[in-house]
Chain A
Amino acid sequence: DQQVKQNSPSLSVQEGRISILNCDYTNSMFDYFLWYKKYPAEGPTFLISISSIKDKNEDGRFTVFLNKSAKHLSLHIVPSQPGDSAVYFCAASVVDAGNMLTFGGGTRLMVKP
Chain B
Amino acid sequence: EPEVTQTPSHQVTQMGQEVILRCVPISNHLYFYWYRQILGQKVEFLVSFYNNEISEKSEIFDDQFSVERPDGSNFTLKIRSTKLEDSAMYFCASSVRPNGGDTEAFFGQGTRLTVV
On whether the beta carbons of A34 and B33 are closer than 8 Å, the reply is: no
Q: How many residue pairs, one in A and one in B, have C-beta atoms under 8 Å apart?
A: 78
- Please, which residue of chain B has its CB at the minimum distance from the CB of A98? B56
Residues B100 and A93 in contact, CB atoms below 8 Å apart: yes
Knowing A32-B99, A106-B42 are in contact, say whether A98-B55 is a contact too (CB < 8 A): yes
State whether A49 and B48 are in contact (beta carbons under 8 Å apart), knowing that A99-B56, A103-B43 are contacts in the complex: no
- Evaluate contact between A46 and B105: CB separation under 8 angstroms: yes
The answer to whether A100 touches B99, judged by C-beta atoms less than 8 angstroms apart, is: yes
Measured between beta carbons, the chain B residues less than 8 angstroms from A105 are 41-42
A101 CB–B CB distance under 8 Å: yes
Residue contact B107 to A99, C-beta cutoff 8 Å: no
A19 CA to B58 CA, complexed, in Å: 33
User: In the complex, which residues 35-60 of chain A have their Cβ closer than 8 Å to any Cβ of chain B?
Assistant: 36, 41-46, 49, 51
A99 and B42 in contact, given A32-B99, A32-B101, A93-B99 (Cβ under 8 angstroms): no
Interface centre among B41, B43, B100, B107 (most CB of A within 10 A): B100
**Given A94-B100, A100-B33: 20 more A-B contacts, CB < 8 Å:** A41-B110, A43-B6, A43-B107, A43-B108, A44-B43, A46-B104, A46-B107, A49-B102, A51-B100, A98-B56, A99-B33, A99-B95, A99-B98, A99-B99, A101-B33, A101-B35, A101-B45, A103-B44, A105-B42, A106-B42
Chain B residue numbers with a CB within 8 Å of A104 are: 42
Contacts of A78-113 to chain B: CB distance below 8 A: 89, 91, 93-96, 98-106
Does any Cβ of A come within 8 Å of B75's Cβ? no
Among B41, B56, B106, the residue within 8 A (CB) of A100 is: B56
Chain A contact-residue range equals 20 to 34
Complex A-B, nearest 10 residue pairs according to Cβ-Cβ distance, in ascending order: A95-B100, A43-B107, A32-B100, A99-B48, A100-B45, A103-B43, A93-B99, A46-B104, A99-B98, A98-B56
Docked Cα-Cα span, A75 to B57, in Å, equals 29
Residue of A nearest to B56 (CB): A98
* Contact residue among A31, A34, A43, A103 (Cβ-Cβ distance under 8 Å from B42): A103
Could you say which residues of chain B place their CB within 8 Å of the CB of A34?
99, 104
